């Protein structure tokens, strides 16, 4: 069978295997990134008009595009509804952007670590990925400037607010500095913000795209983390030089996003009901974050360093004695606990050993401490074996 050369770059199914193992009812999973089942809002479908069953526009529903533009302008993003494209979950933005920009060997710039599925999507299309080290308050500016001076990336893909996996939130200073650098070098920004609304503590958040003066940009968001991921409704907003291409690529990919989910999203966006739901969600996840922080302080203080996340769904641990955490999965599973190894979130996994991503939204708070204790045991054991 002669496949495309692209297929050689389809990644192994490690993540799929981990998530499959996480489905076992006896397993405590810190691996996934699923919203808490108990916090999925009850939605009403009864008032939906039958006509929404018909084919729709590739751009998306006009009223939803308008609602998203209103929300974006409130964040400081200068845009109109004509720049909004509804997508089938924000993963599709990565697919469309890949098609728009990436040939084999095209350079793109990413944070290290970065969102795994973005890395895989860009690599599938043949991108040469340049990594910029993530610090506690955003990317290393020196490293970013050095990359921009020596390379001509087609775009920079950044997740400035509660990044998956590192949970980093860029500071106000770094948001401005990154915008200035991208303007200086004329590099397009793709800013990915799935976790913006899952915020637990005050802090800087105005999007970087709103700080750009010259560079082109794509801003992408979703209702998956705050409403219902099963709707598969996300959106992108793009500068007018990019929009027409993204629209035609969207049409070629799947004609348009399902209108049922778009209609439901529209019932919520900007409503009082949504605002109440978001408050409840933040409160619920904050408790999970606090429970995880306590458990980690108890069991991991001698094993790892971490920042307590100000938003999002993940803790990111750096082991004091780095080991390849991928090799610990089987031992963890033997203890009925599963986590996400950090290595695959890097362009060069083997040069970045000793990170773990732990989700705190799935395991019930009363079992969470026990899971963390078992996981600490696995890692302590591995460190001792290593040392022996």
Site for its own copies in 258-287 (CB under 8 A): 258-261, 264
d(CA 131, CA 156): 10
For 174, the token pair is 């770094």
Nearest distance, CB of residue 359 and its own copies, angstroms? 13
By rule CB under 8 A, what string of x and - marks binding of each residue 8-27 to its own copies? Answer: --xx-x--x-----------
Nearest distance, CB of residue 50 and its own copies, angstroms? 6
By rule CB under 8 A, what string of x and - marks binding of each residue 209-228 to its own copies? Answer: -------x-------x--xx
288 binds its own copies (CB under 8 A): no
d(CA 111, CA 166): 10
Nearest distance, CB of residue 107 and its own copies, angstroms? 10
For 165, the token pair is 């996996």
Per CB under 8 A, the list member of 14, 21, 99, 321 interacting with its own copies is 99
Nearest to 260 by CA among 216, 304, 238, 230: 230
Nearest distance, CB of residue 268 and its own copies, angstroms? 12
Per CB under 8 A, the list member of 25, 26, 50, 214 interacting with its own copies is 50
40 binds its own copies (CB under 8 A): yes
75 binds its own copies (CB under 8 A): no
Residues 117-156 binding its own copies (CB under 8 A) are: 117, 120-121, 124-125, 152, 154
Name the percent of the chain in helix, strand, coil, to the closest 5.
Answer: 45, 15, 40
Nearest distance, CB of residue 372 and its own copies, angstroms? 24
Kind and range of the H or E element at 253? Answer: helix 243-254
Q: Are 60 and 256 in contact (CB under 8 A)?
A: yes
363 binds its own copies (CB under 8 A): no
Per CB under 8 A, the list member of 174, 211, 232, 282 interacting with its own copies is 232
Nearest distance, CB of residue 58 and its own copies, angstroms? 8
d(CA 380, CA 327): 14
CA distance between the termini of the chain: 48
Sheet holding 355-359, edge to edge: 304-305, 314-319, 355-359, 340-341
> Which parts of the chain are beta strand (E)?
28-29, 84-87, 107-112, 128-135, 138-139, 155-158, 188-192, 217-222, 234-238, 304-305, 314-319, 337-338, 340-341, 355-359
4 binds its own copies (CB under 8 A): yes
For 382, the token pair is 């591995």
d(CA 369, CA 229): 27
Nearest distance, CB of residue 125 and its own copies, angstroms? 8
Residues 150-179 binding its own copies (CB under 8 A) are: 152, 154
Nearest distance, CB of residue 267 and its own copies, angstroms? 13
The residue (of 246 and 317) whose beta carbon lies closer to its own copies is: 246
The residue (of 251 and 381) whose beta carbon lies closer to its own copies is: 251
The residue (of 142 and 255) whose beta carbon lies closer to its own copies is: 255
Please report, for residues 210, 230, 296, 323, 359, the alpha-carbon distance to residue 380 in angstroms, rounded to integers and kept in the order given. Answer: 45, 38, 13, 11, 20
Residues with Cβ within 8 Å of 73's Cβ and at least 6 positions away in sequence, in order, are 79
d(CA 105, CA 354): 29
Nearest distance, CB of residue 311 and its own copies, angstroms? 20
The residue (of 100 and 159) whose beta carbon lies closer to its own copies is: 100
The residue (of 71 and 258) whose beta carbon lies closer to its own copies is: 258
């Amino acid at each position: 069978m002669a496949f495309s050369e692209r297929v050689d770059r389809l990644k192994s199914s490690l993540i799929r295997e981990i998530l499959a193992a996480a489905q076992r009812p006896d397993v405590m999973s810190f691996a996934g990134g699923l919203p808490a089942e108990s916090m999925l809002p009850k939605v009403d479908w009864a008032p939906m008009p039958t006509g929404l069953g018909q084919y729709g526009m590739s751009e998306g529903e006009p009223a939803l595009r308008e609602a998203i533009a209103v929300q974006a302008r409130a964040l400081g993003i200068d845009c109109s509804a004509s720049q909004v494209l509804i997508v089938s979950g924000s993963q599709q933005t990565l697919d469309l952007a890949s098609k728009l920009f990436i040939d084999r060997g095209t350079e793109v710039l990413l944070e290290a670590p970065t969102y795994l599925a973005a890395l895989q999507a860009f690599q599938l299309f043949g991108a040469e990925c340049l990594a910029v080290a993530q610090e506690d308050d955003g990317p290393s500016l020196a490293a970013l400037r050095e990359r921009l001076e020596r390379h001509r990336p087609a775009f920079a893909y950044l997740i400035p607010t509660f990044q998956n996996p590192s949970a980093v939130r860029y500071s106000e200073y770094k948001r401005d500095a990154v915008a200035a650098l991208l303007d200086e070098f004329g590099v397009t920004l793709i800013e990915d913000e799935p976790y913006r609304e899952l915020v637990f503590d005050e802090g800087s958040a105005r999007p970087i795209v709103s700080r750009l003066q010259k560079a082109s940009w794509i801003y992408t968001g979703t209702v998956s983390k705050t409403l219902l991921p099963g709707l598969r409704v996300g959106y992108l907003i793009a500068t007018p030089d990019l929009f027409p291409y993204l629209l035609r690529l969207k049409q070629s990919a799947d004609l348009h996003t399902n209108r049922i989910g778009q209609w439901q999203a529209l019932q919520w966006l900007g409503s009082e009901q949504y605002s109440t739901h978001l408050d409840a969600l933040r409160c619920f996840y904050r408790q999970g974050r606090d429970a995880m922080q306590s458990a980690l302080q108890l069991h991991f203080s001698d094993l790892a360093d971490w920042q307590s996340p100000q938003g999002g769904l993940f803790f990111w641990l750096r082991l004091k004695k780095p080991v390849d955490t991928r090799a610990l999965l089987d031992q963890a599973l033997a203890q009925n606990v599963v986590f996400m190894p950090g290595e695959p979130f890097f362009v060069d996994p083997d040069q970045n050993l000793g990170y773990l991503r732990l989700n705190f939204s799935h395991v019930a708070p009363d079992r969470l401490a026990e899971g963390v204790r078992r996981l600490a045991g696995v890692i302590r054991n591995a460190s001792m074996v290593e040392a022996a």
